[in-house]
Amino acid sequence: MKVRHKGRLEPYKTVSFDPTRNAVLLIDQRLLPHRFEVVAILNYRATARAIKDMVVRGAGAIGATAGFGLAQGARAFRGANLERFDAHCAMVFRTLKEARPTAIDPVNAMNGVLAAMAAGDTVEAKKALALSAAEEFAWNDVKHCREIGERGVPLIKPGMRILTHCNAGWLAFVDIGSATAPLYAAHSRGIKFHVFCDETRPRCQGASLTAWELAQEGISHQVIADNAAGFLMWRGEIDLVIVGSDRVLGRTGEVANKIGTYTKALLAKRHGIPFYVAIPFSTIDWEMHGGRDIPIEERSEEEVCGAWGVDSNGQHTYVRIANPTSGARNPGFDVTPPDLITGIITPRGIFKPRELWKNRTKLKC
């Protein structure tokens, strides 16, 4: 996507790799929308930290970052001993996987990198294969998001008011986004519509990231408090909901996504509003048997007890909101059952959630 930065409109990717410095390059999302900065992450441990601390976030983006992180770790290995190299790569894999547990994309990305490396018979050959497989995951992420846009664009009718939750935009992927892909495709065809961005407490990815993206693209939008969506639905002011996901169970059609998604799906059902989930192939978990097995990340209390922003001097700062002596619960994700979901928008078309399994050959990249 193009970003206006230092007076120039230039294309950026959320995640990329610099082979010369063996560095993962990330847009630092913690600073947006107030500051735009690309940071170079120089080793795999720092890459895992960047995922954990949400320098980079969003299922596809952390998938691509983990893929590059595994290649980065492999390329940093010194020596030619294959057994030691494999043990080293297994440790890099674990470190990156543990950074954030809910999204399946990092695991799918790294499994792809490991599978490609298996074809090499020297350490040097495996290193080269690791990097090209990580690059391929990142290209596919963009390609699949573009295809989601083509599949989803017929849903966007002129004048529609569309609700989205959190950020499943280009910042959550390498480019384009999943939930935003049909929106960007419709916008490029000259279709006029309006987007409501749930602010998405506690970290406010809707207010800070989705709103920033839509503003960059010149798409009409407003931020709403998370609690406002039900009222707007009741008043007939929302026509469609599109969200992303961090893990969709291929066997059951259950959808893990940012906390608050389940509530919005229930509200949409109550008001007869279509509720869609947009995902690339890397977000599908074909192994897990039930939504209760999805590891739901619990994040720190400080996210709920306060908020980040900039002060009047432009300084990035945290302010405490909650009563100083109170604690908080902070599950980062919830699970939406298939009966609340109208359809899953994929690069191969729109499927009923319970039809993913029987279409699995089509849906494996």
Residues taking part in catalysis: 246
In whole angstroms, the minimum distance from the beta carbon of 313 to ligand MRU comes to 27
In whole angstroms, the minimum distance from the beta carbon of 21 to ligand MRU comes to 26
Tell me the helices (H) and strands (E) count for the chain, helix number first: 11, 18
Place of tokens 């959808």: 255
Nearest to 187, CA basis, from 159, 165, 219: 219
The per-residue DSSP string of 285-298 comes to: ESS---GGGS---B
CA dist 40 → 15, 28, 51, 109 (Å): 10, 10, 13, 20
In whole angstroms, the minimum distance from the beta carbon of 110 to ligand MRU comes to 17
Interacting residue ranges for ligand MRU, rule: CB under 6 A:
57-60, 166-168, 172, 178, 205, 243-246, 257-258, 332
Cβ atoms of 258 and 35 within 8 Å: the answer is no
In whole angstroms, the minimum distance from the beta carbon of 360 to ligand MRU comes to 21
Q: Which is nearer to ligand MRU, 32 or 92 (CB)?
A: 32
Q: Which is nearer to ligand MRU, 131 or 265 (CB)?
A: 265
Q: Are strands 23-27 and 38-41 parallel, antiparallel or unpaired?
A: antiparallel
Nearest to 49, CA basis, from 31, 32, 24: 24
The per-residue DSSP string of 331-355 comes to: B-EEEE-GGG-SEEEETTEEE-GGG
Q: Which is nearer to ligand MRU, 58 or 291 (CB)?
A: 58
Q: Which is nearer to ligand MRU, 97 or 128 (CB)?
A: 97
Q: Which is nearer to ligand MRU, 147 or 246 (CB)?
A: 246
Tokens read off for 295: 């590891």
